[in-house]
Amino acid sequence: MSRLNSARELEHLREHLREKRKDITTTVMVCGGTGCQASRSRVLINAVKEELTRLGLEERVRLCATGCHGFCEQGPVVVIEPSNVFYCHVSPDDAFEIVYQTIMNGKLIDRLLYVDPTSGKKVRTQSEIPFYRAQDRQILSQNLMIDPCSIEDYIVAGGYSALVKVLNGVTPEQIIKEIKAAGLRGRGGGGFPTGRKWSECWEAPGDEKYVICNADEGDPGAYMDRCVLEGNPHLILEGMMIGAKAVGARKGYIYVRNEYPLAVEHSRIAIEQARELGLLGDNILGSSFSFDMDIARGGGAFVCGESTALMASVEGKVGEPRPKDVHTVVDGLYHKPTTLNNVETWANVPAIILKGSSWFASKGSQGSKGTKILALTGRIKNTGLVEVAMGMPINQVVFDIGGGGVNGKQIKAVQIGGPSGGCLPVEKFDLPVDFDVLAEAGSMVGSGGMVVMDEESCMVDVAKYFLTFLQDESCGKCLPCRVGVGRMLEIIGEITEGRGRLEQLDLLEELAETVSQTSLCGLGKTAPNPVLTTLRYFRPEYEAHIKEKKCPAGVCKALITYQIVPDRCNGCGVCLRACIHKAITGKKQKSHVINARLCQKCGICRSECKFDAIQVV
Please list every residue from 327 through 346 that binds another protein, using CB under 8 A. Answer: none
What is the Cβ-side half-sphere exposure of residue 569, based on CA atoms within 13 angstroms?
A: 26
Q: Select 104 or 479, whichever has its Cβ closest to another protein.
A: 479
Question: Does residue 595 sit in helix, strand or coil?
Answer: coil
Q: How far is the CB of 350 from another protein (least distance, A)?
A: 24
Task: Name residue 346's amino acid.
Answer: W
**Site residues (CB under 8 A) for another protein, limited to 449-508:** 449, 451-453, 457, 462, 465-466, 469, 471-480, 482-484, 486-487, 490, 507
Q: How far is the CB of 34 from another protein (least distance, A)?
A: 5
DSSP 2: P
Q: Select 84 or 607, whichever has its Cβ closest to another protein.
A: 607
CB atoms near residue 334 (< 10 Å)? 12
CB atoms near residue 428 (< 10 Å)? 18
Is residue 435 within 8 A of residue 445, CB to CB? The reply is yes
Q: Select 334 or 588, whichever has its Cβ closest to another protein.
A: 334
How far apart (Å, rounded) are the C-alpha atoms in residues 140 and 462? 30
Which string of x and - marks every residue 208-247 that binds another protein (by CB under 8 A)? ---------xxxxxxx--x---------------------
Q: Select 221 or 332, whichever has its Cβ closest to another protein.
A: 221
Q: How far is the CB of 482 from another protein (least distance, A)?
A: 7
Q: Select 109 or 574, whichever has its Cβ closest to another protein.
A: 574
What is the Cβ-side half-sphere exposure of residue 186, based on CA atoms within 13 angstroms?
A: 19
Q: Select 349 or 478, whichever has its Cβ closest to another protein.
A: 478
Interface stretch with another protein, choices 19-27, 153-161, 349-357, 445-453 (CB under 8 A) = 445-453
Residue 549 region by backbone torsions, left for phi larger than 0, else alpha for psi between -120 and 50, else beta: left
**Site residues (CB under 8 A) for another protein, limited to 248-267:** 257-261
Q: Is residue 148 within the footprint of another protein (CB under 8 A)?
A: no
Residues 6+ apart with CB under 8 A from 413: 423, 424, 425, 426, 452, 453, 457, 459, 537, 538
Q: Select 177 or 196, whichever has its Cβ closest to another protein.
A: 196
Q: Select 159 or 191, whichever has its Cβ closest to another protein.
A: 191
Listing DSSP states for 354-372 in one string gives HH-HHHHHTSB-SSSBSEE
Residues 6+ apart with CB under 8 A from 553: 455, 456, 457, 458, 459, 461, 541
**Site residues (CB under 8 A) for another protein, limited to 507-526:** 507, 510-511, 514, 517-520
Q: How far is the CB of 469 from another protein (least distance, A)?
A: 6
**Site residues (CB under 8 A) for another protein, limited to 355-384:** 375-379, 383-384
Q: Select 56 or 316, whichever has its Cβ closest to another protein.
A: 316
DSSP 167: H
Q: How far is the CB of 59 from another protein (least distance, A)?
A: 34
Q: Select 182 or 228, whichever has its Cβ closest to another protein.
A: 228
CB atoms near residue 120 (< 10 Å)? 7
What DSSP element (H or E) covers 254? strand 251-257
How far apart (Å, rounded) are the C-alpha atoms in residues 445 and 438? 7
Question: Does residue 106 sit in helix, strand or coil?
Answer: coil
Is residue 32 within 8 A of residue 72, CB to CB? The reply is no
φ/ψ of 62, rounded to 5, equals: -100, 125
Q: How far is the CB of 358 from another protein (least distance, A)?
A: 30
Q: Select 284 or 301, whichever has its Cβ closest to another protein.
A: 301
How far apart (Å, rounded) are the C-alpha atoms in residues 192 and 572? 58
The dihedral sign for the CA sequence 4, 9, 14, 16: negative
Applying CB under 8 A, among 29, 48, 72, 564 the residue interacting with another protein is: 72
Q: Is residue 616 within the footprint of another protein (CB under 8 A)?
A: no
Residues 6+ apart with CB under 8 A from 106: 83
HEC letters along 38-92: HCCHHHHHHHHHHHHHHCCCCCCEEEEEECCCCCHHHCCCEEEECCCEEECCCCH
CB atoms near residue 392 (< 10 Å)? 23
Q: How far is the CB of 514 from another protein (least distance, A)?
A: 4
Q: Select 361 or 602, whichever has its Cβ closest to another protein.
A: 602
Q: How far is the CB of 291 from another protein (least distance, A)?
A: 19
**Site residues (CB under 8 A) for another protein, limited to 552-611:** 578, 580-581, 600, 602-604, 607-608
Q: How far is the CB of 17 from another protein (least distance, A)?
A: 32
Q: How far is the CB of 226 from another protein (least distance, A)?
A: 4
How far apart (Å, rounded) are the C-alpha atoms in residues 84 and 86? 6
How far is the first Cα of the chain from the last one, in angstroms, to the nearest whole number? 68
Size of the site for another protein (CB under 8 A): 92
Task: Name residue 597's amino acid.
Answer: R
Q: How far is the CB of 265 from another protein (least distance, A)?
A: 12
Q: Select 13 or 45, whichever has its Cβ closest to another protein.
A: 45
**Site residues (CB under 8 A) for another protein, limited to 413-432:** 415, 418-419
What DSSP element (H or E) covers 332? none
Residues 6+ apart with CB under 8 A from 188: 214, 305, 341, 342, 344, 345, 446, 447
Q: Select 234 or 464, whichever has its Cβ closest to another protein.
A: 464
Q: How far is the CB of 357 from another protein (least distance, A)?
A: 27
Q: Is residue 408 within the footprint of another protein (CB under 8 A)?
A: no
Q: Is residue 106 within the footprint of another protein (CB under 8 A)?
A: no
Is residue 365 within 8 A of residue 341, CB to CB? The reply is no
Applying CB under 8 A, among 177, 322, 335, 536 the residue interacting with another protein is: 322
Q: How far is the CB of 152 from another protein (least distance, A)?
A: 27
Which string of x and - marks every residue 28-67 that binds another protein (by CB under 8 A)? ------xx-xxx----------------------------
Task: Name residue 292's amino acid.
Answer: D
